[in-house]
Amino acid sequence: MRILIVFAVLLTLAYSCSEDAPAPAIPSDPDRFVVDGIDTLTGLIAQGDYLLVRGNCLACHSANLITQQGATAAGWREMIHWMQEKQGLTDLGELEEPIVAYLATYYAPVETGRRRPLGEVEWYRLNTDQAD
Ligand code: HEC
């Protein structure tokens, strides 16, 4: 009798394990992790084509490498080509343009270290009459 019960329990367990697991839900709203304009999964600014960056740029390193950078479109393109040449990043094809555009827009060169705009400067005439 005891053996029968053990058998029944095992059978029930086996059956419940073999049931097809429900298919994972396909994310219908990719923006659902956005809080205060930031994609909380990655830290990326959740504007424009950030999902392309999330989908193509985070296989090898975290988004921190990206979010702490600032560069022009040319600078971003250069980094991407460097990773393609040296680090095995695959050709992004037609996605390169929107990815570079996103990066150059939301991760532009940082302004610190540059001189202030000349708006409040008081100009004076340089004395060039020294020969007289
Ligand atoms: C195939 C792997 C791979 C992928 C995919 C990848 N990277 Fe990288 N990336 C690297 C490696 C390796 C480094 C160097 C990491 C280090 O220095 O610790 C790097 C470094 C960087 C850096 C820092 C560069 C610097 O000069 O400090 C940035 C910014 C960057 N990646 C952006 C991107 C962007 C944007 C994408 C998507 C277009 C991307 N990465 C996709 C491998 C990759």
pLDDT(121) > 60: yes
**Ligand 1, atom 17: nearest CA belongs to which residue?**
65
* pLDDT (mean) for 16-44: 79
Residue 28 pLDDT: 72
pTM of the model: 0.73
Rounded to the nearest angstrom, the distance between the alpha carbon of 83 and the centre of ligand 1 is 6
Tell me the two tokens of residue 87. Answer: 């680090």
Indicate the angle between helix axes 73-86 and 96-106, nearest 10 degrees.
130
Residue 126 pLDDT: 79
Select from 54, 61, 63, 50 the least CA-distant residue to 103: 50
Cβ within 8 Å of residue 48, ≥6 positions away? 98, 101, 102, 105, 106
- Residue percentage of the chain with pLDDT more than 90: 58
Residue 35 pLDDT: 95
State pLDDT tens for residues 48-106.
999 999 999 999 999 999 999 999 999 999 999 999 999 999 999 999 999 999 999 99
74-108: b (≥16 Cβ within 10 Å) or e: ebbbebbeeeeeeeebeebeeebeebbebbbebbe
Tell me the two tokens of residue 126. Answer: 């340089």
Query: Is residue 99 a contact partner of residue 49, using CB atoms and an 8 Å limit?
Result: yes
Q: Which residue has the higher pLDDT, 103 or 29?
A: 103
Q: Which residue has the higher pLDDT, 18 or 10?
A: 10
Q: Which residue has the higher pLDDT, 26 or 56?
A: 56
Of all atoms in ligand 1, which is nearest to the CA of residue 53?
Answer: 37
Q: Which residues line ligand 1 (CB under 6 A)?
A: 56-57, 59-61, 65-66, 69, 79-80, 83, 87-89, 99, 103
The secondary element (H helix, E strand) that includes residue 2 is helix 2-18
Residue 11 pLDDT: 61
Residue 30 pLDDT: 81
Of all atoms in ligand 1, which is nearest to the CA of residue 103?
Answer: 35
